Amino acid sequence: MTDINHHEIDMHWMRLALEEAAKGKGCVEPNPMVGCVVVRDGRLITKGYHRYFGGPHAEVEALQSIVDPNATIYVTLEPCSHFGKTPPCAPLVVSKKPNRVVVAMLDPFPVVAGRGIAVLREQGIEVTTGILESEARELNAPYLKLLKTGKPWTIAKWAMTLDGAIATATGDSKWISNELSRASVHQLRSDLDGVIVGIQTVLEDDPLLTARLPGNSKPHRIATRVVLDHRGRLPLDSKLVQSIPTAPLWVIVADHCPIAKREALERLGASVFAMPTDYQHDSLTFALEELGRVRATNVLIEGGGAVLGSAFDRNLVDQVECYIAPKIFGGDAKRPVMGTGLKRVQDASLWRIESTRLHGDDLHMTMRRREPI
């Protein structure tokens, strides 16, 4: 067998391991998604993935029933070598006496960071790394960003018309997108740790910002709703406040927010965060940093235009979910992204279209930044 064929075979099985890993999306965070495939004599023996936070890792899923030695094990992330919520995986891999272990990428988590690979090699196991590494890194980009920056992967979402409007000149916005698009947004929310919105959007729309799924389906995660509300204008009878028993609510306020309002919100179950003075004009960054401290991995910014503009002005957005409806508003209709904006075309950040989907007549585009933060 040539080296080229060997490499192609490794890529084939690693793609399958990555497909397995992706099944854990929304369930394993803040842990990374990991998939594992076991192959012997060119034949799939078993496969597994990390199913939920605190549950068995992918290697345990795939290896617990394996007794035959001399297999090749493909895993999308370096096996851990430390005790966390579960025992380390590297010793389990060693105990199965594989002929070879193929790893897509090393785990940058400080207590792993190459130690798992070292454990395998110390036991005389051949280890190959870097197979489909870029794909593995893209799959776990939110996990990697949280480790690197302390802030969650940030997704900007809006629905707009063909001429780029999110509301008419009078502020009417229900509904721009169709029911299928709105169902897609609820599915998106069900995989997230947080949803951020500005106070003006709350005052105009009185949203719930929860994930409502069809039938008896339950969301993978209950996102924390976060309202940027410098002056404490959030009504106590709003849907966000009244639904606190079903989903957490954070309110980010400035130092001039009345103390009585803060206390009233807290009595009703909201968590109120008073920004330090140096964040008074950047509540969004403050909110993201606080979410990062509780290890929120994926966060959605739902608007409005001022908040989304602030996010893009400050280079805080990693991914865009844009829903385009076949409608034209014209006139002085409101735009999805405001803020300071750019003076020169050449300063615009570049985005890569990851997928396009049709929801009836609506076009749904998912984009990622070409150069990750």
**Residue 273 near residue 286 (C-beta atoms within 8 A):** yes
Whether the per-residue pLDDT at 262 is higher than 80: the answer is yes
Q: Is 290 a catalytic residue?
A: no
State the pTM of this model. 0.90
Query: For 53, which DSSP code?
Result: T
Whether the per-residue pLDDT at 4 is higher than 80: the answer is no
Query: For 334, which DSSP code?
Result: B
**Residue 287 near residue 226 (C-beta atoms within 8 A):** yes
Whether the per-residue pLDDT at 166 is higher than 80: the answer is yes
State the catalytic residue, choosing from 59, 61, 78, 321.
59
Q: For a pLDDT cut of 90, what percent of the chain falls above it? A: 68
- The closest of 179, 227, 186, 232 to 205, measured between CA atoms, is 227
Whether the per-residue pLDDT at 315 is higher than 80: the answer is yes
According to DSSP, the residues that pair with 129 across neighbouring strands are 103
According to DSSP, the residues that pair with 160 across neighbouring strands are 324
Q: What pLDDT is stored for residue 94 in this prediction?
A: 87
Whether the per-residue pLDDT at 2 is higher than 60: the answer is no
Which is more confidently placed, 152 or 6?
A: 152
Work out the number of other CB atoms within 10 angstroms of the CB of residue 345. Answer: 6
Pairing of strands 362-369, 224-228: unpaired
Q: What pLDDT is stored for residue 87 in this prediction?
A: 65
Sketch out the chain's domains with CATH numbers: 3-139 (3.40.140.10), 151-369 (3.40.430.10)
* Tens-place pLDDT, residues 21-34: 999 999 999 999 99
* Tens-place pLDDT, residues 276-313: 988 878 999 999 999 999 999 999 999 789 999 999 99
**φ, ψ at 68 (rounded to 5°):** -75, 125
Q: What pLDDT is stored for residue 295 in this prediction?
A: 95
Cα separation, 240 vs 225, whole angstroms:
8
